[in-house]
């Protein structure tokens, strides 16, 4: 299933955004023929939408021939004949553009972003999150992408040279900014992370001893969590710092009174533990606001 992003502060209706992403997913083969889509209620719950909105999108895409509804089973991606005329020349042309773009070395994410830009009449800033810890880069990209309503690519500083170009704006933490000095032609902006004071605001150590677990694929996040918990007065024996890429990573989590995960692992974590999972975020609110403002300024400038 493709990752879906919704921008709620634009003039583009949610139904159009959702339909466009499904169509692009089918054209790019990120959604494969015969793949079952989430139920109306499951997708509505995931995207925090009214079920009628998702139902309307599915209905329109079924009518247009992109999806197929199987009674009593659900909605599936339809096997499409791009060589025929059932979809019309516009869809066939779009697919040929995707194929040519892939052949020229563009990623699916960049091609999807470009198609969405054209469809919405908005020129999106080409942000890329870069960090020596690729797992941290993925987490930061997810947080920023959620705020912008688009999918943000990410890379380690080792992989950055093959991804960055003159139109890129590299988003980096203060600790990794020095690694971009060799890319003089690339614009960059520093991602400010939440301070210790921000993270501790409104939080107090429980009055009685408890076990607390922090789950993340990022070693940087796990190290940060250990520092934070120590500042709150937790001993090493009361912390469980887990990497979900390791075997038996969820063993013992049910014994913890507090379980927290980053934005990428929290949904998966919630399926493995009985407790409510806390989702922690790393990017500061003012840094998110600045990146969003830069995005809007770029978009408004393209309309002049």
- Do 136 and 218 contact (CB within 8 A), yes or no? yes
Question: Among 174, 149, 172, 147, which residue's Cα sits nearest to residue 160?
Answer: 172
> Spelled out in words, what is the top-level CATH class assigned to the domain 204-279?
alpha beta
Reading the block at residue 299, the tokens are: 């978009």
User: Residues 238, 212: contact at Cβ < 8 Å?
Assistant: yes
Dihedral sign of CA atoms 181, 293, 265, 114 in order = negative
Mean pLDDT (whole number) for 168-189: 70
- How far apart, in whole angstroms, are the C-alpha atoms of residue 242 and residue 240? 6
**Domain spanning 14-120, CATH class:** mainly alpha
Share the mean pLDDT of the chain.
78
Cβ 278 vs Cβ 259: under 8 Å: yes
Over residues 111-129, the mean pLDDT reads: 64
CB-based contact 108:30 (threshold 8 Å): yes
Please answer whether residues 162 and 106 qualify as being in contact, where contact means their C-beta atoms are separated by less than 8 angstroms. no
- Six-digit token pair at 88? 């019309």
pLDDT in tens, 220-270: 999 988 888 887 777 888 889 999 999 999 899 998 888 889 999 988 888
Same fold, 126-194+286-302 and 204-279: yes
Find out if CATH 1.20.950 is the number for domain 126-194+286-302: no
Tokens standing for 177? 């900014």
Following DSSP, what letter does each residue of 60-123 receive, concatenated? HHHHTTSEEEETTTEEEEPPP-TTSSTTHHHHHHHHHHHHHHHHTT--HHHHHHHHHHHHHT--
Q: What is the mean pLDDT of residues 195-223?
A: 75
Query: pLDDT (tens digit, 9 = 90+) per residue, 50-86?
Result: 999 999 999 988 988 889 999 889 999 988 655 544 4
Helix-helix angle 40-47:51-63, to 10 degrees? 120
Domain boundaries, the chain: 14-120, 126-194+286-302, 204-279
Residue 164 has pLDDT above 70, yes or no: no
Residue 80 to residue 103: CA distance in whole angstroms: 21
CB 199, CB 228: distance < 8 Å:
yes
Question: Dihedral, CA atoms, 153, 102, 36, 245, nearest 10 degrees?
Answer: -40
Q: Which residue has the higher pLDDT, 27 or 198?
A: 27
Is 111 in contact with 98 (CB distance < 8 Å)? yes
Higher-confidence position of 214 and 101: 214
Q: What is the dihedral of CA 35, 39, 42, 43, to 10 degrees?
A: 70
Give the model's pLDDT for residue 123.
45
């Amino acid at each position: 299933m493709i990752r879906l992003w919704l921008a709620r502060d634009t003039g583009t209706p949610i139904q159009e955004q959702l339909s466009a992403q499904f169509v692009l997913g089918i054209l790019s083969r990120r959604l494969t023929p015969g793949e079952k889509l989430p139920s109306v209620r499951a997708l509505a719950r995931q995207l925090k939408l009214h079920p009628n909105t998702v139902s309307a999108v599915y209905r329109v895409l079924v009518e247009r021939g992109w999806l197929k509804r199987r009674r009593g089973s659900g909605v599936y991606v339809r096997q499409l004949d791009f060589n025929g005329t059932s979809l019309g020349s516009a869809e066939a042309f779009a697919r040929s553009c995707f194929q040519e773009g892939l052949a020229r070395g563009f990623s699916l994410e960049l091609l999807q972003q470009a198609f969405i830009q054209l469809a919405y009449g908005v020129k999106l800033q080409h942000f890329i999150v870069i960090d020596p810890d690729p797992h941290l880069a993925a987490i930061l990209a997810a947080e920023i992408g959620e705020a912008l309503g688009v999918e943000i690519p990410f890379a380690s500083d080792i992989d950055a040279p093959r991804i960055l170009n003159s139109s890129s704006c590299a988003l980096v933490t203060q600790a990794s900014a020095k690694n971009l000095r060799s890319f003089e032609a690339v614009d960059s902006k520093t991602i400010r992370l939440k301070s210790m004071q921000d993270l501790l605001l409104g939080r107090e150590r429980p009055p009685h001893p408890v076990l607390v677990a922090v789950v993340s694929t990022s070693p940087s996040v796990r190290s940060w969590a250990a520092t934070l918990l120590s500042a709150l007065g937790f001993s090493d024996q009361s912390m469980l710092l887990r990497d979900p890429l390791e075997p038996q990573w969820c063993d013992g989590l049910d014994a913890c009174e507090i379980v927290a995960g980053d934005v990428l692992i929290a949904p998966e974590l919630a399926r493995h533990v009985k407790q409510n999972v806390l989702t922690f975020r790393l990017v500061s609110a003012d840094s998110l606001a600045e990146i969003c403002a830069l995005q809007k300024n770029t978009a408004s400038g393209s309309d002049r």
